[in-house]
Amino acid sequence: MTYTKQTLQQDLAAMGLTGTETILIHSSMKSIGAVEGGADTVLDALMEFFAEGLLLLPTHTWQSIDQDHPVFDVRRSPCCVGILPELFRQRPGVVRSLHPTHSIAACGRGAAEYLAGELENNTPCTPGGCYDRLRAVGGKILLLGVSHARNTFLHSVEEVLNVPNRLTDKPLQLTVVDEAGAEHTVYMRRHYNAQQPHISEDFVKLEQAYLDCGAAKNTKFGDAACILCDANELFRVTRHILAPAPEAFVTEPVIPAQRWKELCTETR
């Protein structure tokens, strides 16, 4: 089957979305299947559907911005998280935050205001920053063809909860070039864990907990298996697991269901 803008928008509506949401979308273009018009059609579908809301896509550059390449240019630095974010950030009307490693691009209601303040942050997902802010606005997260291993919001939960062994001790000195071409010196710590270099790969350990507690549900977008999440509920479930055991993601091979059963009962 070849999908069109209309059929993809029907899939969004079938998820229960109205188009007025603030929604962060992590994506895999290839998971969607054949689309008439390709990636541009997917972006057209998303931008038109959420025209009355706020559409957010991650435009991370952590793969390329480092000690040897310390300059992030918000206008030119390509992102490392797929073709949809890379094309999205270049579209007219889309704005991009000034975070040197974990920027977000946005279009829609209050986009510039939502992205403001990232120059003052010194961690990837600083409390009160763009990722944590999803809770305050009742935001949604759509994992489009990807798992919770790509759910950057969970890094912000760890930062809010002050989970140990998640960040480098020493920050990097980086340069951010803004839309006007002005340069800003910033100091940024990076994600780091000595036991697990790719800590987000362990976020999938809570996939069933999120489903059981109603924080997430399985959906479809084209051929892509998706997970639609509520940011506030993700935070609540994750806090329930990590508060008594901050290192659970790393130290526990499997997080047993009894750890969240009581919380799910309370939710319902």
With a pLDDT cut of 90, the percent of the chain lying above it is 88
Contacts of 254 (CB under 8 A, 6+ apart): 205
Half-sphere exposure of 162 (CA within 13 A, CB side): 0
**267 band by pLDDT with thresholds 50, 70 and 90:** low
Question: For the residues 66-94, what does the mean pLDDT come to?
Answer: 97
The answer, yes or no, to whether residue 170 has pLDDT greater than 70, is yes
Query: What distances in angstroms separate CA 190 from CA 41, 165, 250, one per listed residue?
Result: 34, 11, 18
Q: How far apart are CA 166 and CA 158, in angstroms?
A: 8
The answer, yes or no, to whether residue 37 has pLDDT greater than 70, is yes
pLDDT tens digits, residue range 205-238? Answer: 999 999 999 999 999 999 999 999 999 999 999 9
In sign, the C-alpha dihedral spanning 176, 89, 219, 22 is positive
**63 band by pLDDT with thresholds 50, 70 and 90:** very high
Does the pTM exceed 0.85? yes
Q: What is the pLDDT, as a whole number, of residue 192?
A: 85
Q: Which of 210, 115, 105, 121 is nearest to 159 (CA)?
A: 121
Question: For the residues 82-102, what does the mean pLDDT come to?
Answer: 98
Question: For the residues 12-25, what does the mean pLDDT come to?
Answer: 98
Q: What is the pLDDT, as a whole number, of residue 221?
A: 98
Q: What is the mean pLDDT of the chain?
A: 95
Q: What is the pLDDT, as a whole number, of residue 194?
A: 76
Question: For the residues 243-262, what does the mean pLDDT come to?
Answer: 90
The answer, yes or no, to whether residue 39 has pLDDT greater than 70, is yes
With a pLDDT cut of 70, the percent of the chain lying above it is 99
The answer, yes or no, to whether residue 261 has pLDDT greater than 90, is no
